[in-house]
Amino acid sequence: MKQVKLSPSILAADFARLGEQIEEALAAGAEYIHVDVMDGHFVPNITIGPPVVAKIRPFIQSAGAVMDVHLMIENPGDYVAAFADAGADIITVHVEAAPHLHRVIQAIHETGAKAGVTLNPATPLVTLEEILPDVELVLIMSVNPGFGGQSYIPASTDKIRRLRAMLDAIGSTADLEVDGGIKPDNVAEVVAAGADVIVAGSAIFNRKQSVAANIAAFRAAIA
C-alpha cells in the first residue's frame, strides 16, 4: 500500500489564524491541506469560496504540499475553473451533485488539476464503477457531510474495504481518501481497510494540544 498521507481539514481551524494554522500543519508534516467548500444547498452549511482558496495557496505551495479541495455544492461543474484558478491541485465532486459526472471530471482535467469523486454515506459504491478509471482520488465520506466534529459511521470501514478491492481490480493508482470522524484511536482501522489519505479536522485543529502534537499522534497510531 502507498504511504499514508494526512490531509488536515481547515473546516476546524481557527479562521482568525488560518494561515498560521496551515503553516503549523505543514511544518508538522501534513502532505495535503483539505478545503471543504459548502454552499448551503447541497449540504446544510456555508463555508468558503475561491477568494479564500487563493489567499491560502502561497502557504501550501511554499511547503510543496497539495491543496485538496472538496466541493460539497450543487452544480460543481460551474465552479471548477474558478477553484482551479485559485490554486486547487485536486478538485473532488460528489456523484450525487453531478448528473453528467464524466463531463465534470473532464472539465477538471482540462484545468490541469487532478480529479476526485466522492459519495455520501448512504450512496452505494456501484455509482462510482464507470468513473473510477478516470479519477486520481476517490473519497469515502464516513460522516454525513456538512459539519465537522461528527462521529465516524462504523459501516464505513467495510465500504472502504470494498472500494479498495474495486480500485485494485482495475489497477487504479488513485488515492483512497476517507473523511469524517477519524481520530488517532480509529485511524489504524481505516488504514487497514485500505485508505491512504486521511482527512481530519477537529482531531487536528483543537485546543486540547498543538497541531504538531495531534499530527504526531496520528502518525504514531498509523505506524
Helix (H, G, I), strand (E, B) or coil at 187: helix
- Spatial CA neighbour of 200 closest among 171, 223, 177, 220: 177
- Spatial CA neighbour of 83 closest among 101, 117, 107, 102: 107
By the 8 A CB rule, do 78 and 107 touch?
A: no
Does residue 36 have an active-site annotation?
yes
C-alpha dist (Å) from residue 160 to 3, 166, 181: 17, 10, 14
pTM: 0.95
Q: What is the pLDDT of residue 133?
A: 98
What gap in Å lies between CA 65 and CA 70, rounded to an integer?
A: 16
List, for the chain, all residue ranges whose pLDDT scores fall below the cut of 50. Answer: none
Which residue in 36, 68, 89, 175 is the catalytic one? 36
Q: What is the pLDDT of residue 148?
A: 72
Q: What is the pLDDT of residue 222?
A: 95
Residue 9 is placed in which grid cell? 481539514
Domain that holds residue 60: 5-222
CA angle 40, 73, 198 (to 5 degrees): 105
Which residue in 39, 68, 175, 179 is the catalytic one? 179
If one counts the domains in the chain, the total is 1
What gap in Å lies between CA 205 and CA 38, rounded to an integer?
A: 19
Q: What is the pLDDT of residue 1?
A: 56
Q: What are 27-68's pLDDT values in tens digits?
A: 999 999 999 999 999 998 899 999 999 999 999 999 999 999
Report the CATH number at residue 127: 3.20.20.70
AA identity, residue 95: V
